[in-house]
Structure 1
Amino acid sequence: MPPSVDHVRSVTEAYLARHPDERESLTLLFTALAAADDPTNRKTFPAHVTCSAIVINGARHVLHIVHKASGKLLAPGGHNELDDRHLRDAALRELHEEAGIPPSAVVPLSGFEDVPLDIDVHTIDANPSKDEPSHHHVDFRWVFRLGAEHAVTLQEEEVDGYEWRPFTSAASTTIHSKLALLP
């Protein structure tokens, strides 16, 4: 069973308790949560929830992968699936699928066990081959520390490469600024 509306709402409210100034930027999420359709389903438009894993290694570098579909350097992540009971589960599954890092190799950063580091809303272009209109992803970005060095094994169907980048060079400006606040 995918993450429930109550779970998504609870996680969102916990996040907004830390970042109350971001409530307005999540209007599309609240609209999706109030609608009849499953907000975690990839076919829910105009917006649906996705999840990403922000992985930090011992050198305080962040894992980025190159997604084939977009050519962009991003955190491992993607759509929720039916077996993802919680949002964090989807991020961990995507990390394992795209980068070969199993959930057992990472631990949530202290204080972020049940709250994402960031929630980002971004536009996805229409994809006629998948019968998808232009829409928005509301990406819950979970932060993890790599417990021990672990080889990155890329999912060749979706990923072209990877980089470990210093916090200051994180591809996302919101991630960069939130990581900079960590001890």
Structure 2
Amino acid sequence: MSLHDDAVLVLKAYGDQDELRQEYLDHLAAHPDALWKACGAGHLTASALVIDPERGQVLLTLHRKLRMWLQMGGHCEPQDASLTAAALREATEESGIPGLTLLPGGPVRLDRHPIPAPCHWHFDVQYAALAPPGATQAISDESLDLRWFPYDAVAEVADESVVRLLEAARARL
């Protein structure tokens, strides 16, 4: 199964945000290259909010280019067998934490947001990843900083999309 086919199945099974979900499906139907950065009309990305529920904290990255505190995530790669695999790979690479596991049940949220040209949109498929006990993060080249934040401090440092993702992830927990 191709990554494109997997994305269609994942989105058809996603049971929330019906209007936005349909926009994602329409985009995939109109653009065979919708999973790749080269798709100028916008492309799907995969991200994961890393959570330590025992400590009531999330790990956020200070994104090098955007200079914003965000969840881990990014572009799909040819070796990704699925959106789930892409989200887990991105979360592991950017957090430096081995042994992350995604919450069952598929994506937690969808978030479509504008990005600078030449591409115009990210259609982000957002997951939540559980950190193993005693997890220690390691900063990657894509980050200026990595930091654990208590749930109630996220709104002070991150934008609304991250806050909504945290709320959805906590509801899923």
Change (3 A) 1:169 1:117: farther
Alignment partner for residue 159 of structure 1, among 134, 143, 147? 143
CA–CA distance in 1 between the matches of 2:61 and 2:2?
25
Q: Determine what percentage of the aligned residue pairs are the same residue.
A: 30
Superposition TM-score, scaled by structure 2 size? 0.86
Q: Retained in 1: the 8 A contact 2:45–2:125?
A: yes
CA–CA distance in 1 between the matches of 2:129 and 2:94?
15
Deviation of the 1:180 alpha carbon: 4.1
The answer on 1:89 being equivalent to 2:85 is yes
CA–CA distance in 1 between the matches of 2:24 and 2:40?
11
Q: Retained in 2: the 8 A contact 1:2–1:84?
A: no
Q: Retained in 2: the 8 A contact 1:108–1:143?
A: yes
Greater displacement, 143-152 / 73-82: 143-152
Q: Retained in 1: the 8 A contact 2:49–2:166?
A: no
Structure 1 residue runs of 4 or more that deviate by more than 6 Å after TM superposition? none
Residue 34 (structure 1) aligns with: 29
Q: Which amino acid aligns with 2:151?
A: F
Alignment partner for residue 70 of structure 1, among 66, 72, 77? 66
> Cα RMSD (Å) of the superposition?
1.9
Alignment partner for residue 120 of structure 1, among 91, 95, 111? 111
Q: Which amino acid aligns with 2:116?
A: D
Where does structure 2 lack aligned partners over 5 or more consecutive residues?
A: none
CA deviations on 1:115-152 (whole Å, 9 max, x unpaired) are: 111111111122xxxxx24x111111111211222211
CA–CA distance in 1 between the matches of 2:83 and 2:27?
16
Residue 129 (structure 1) aligns with: none
2:167 aligned counterpart, secondary structure: helix
Superposition TM-score, scaled by structure 1 size? 0.82
Change (3 A) 1:27 1:46: farther
Residue 152 (structure 2) aligns with: 168
Change (3 A) 1:151 1:124: same
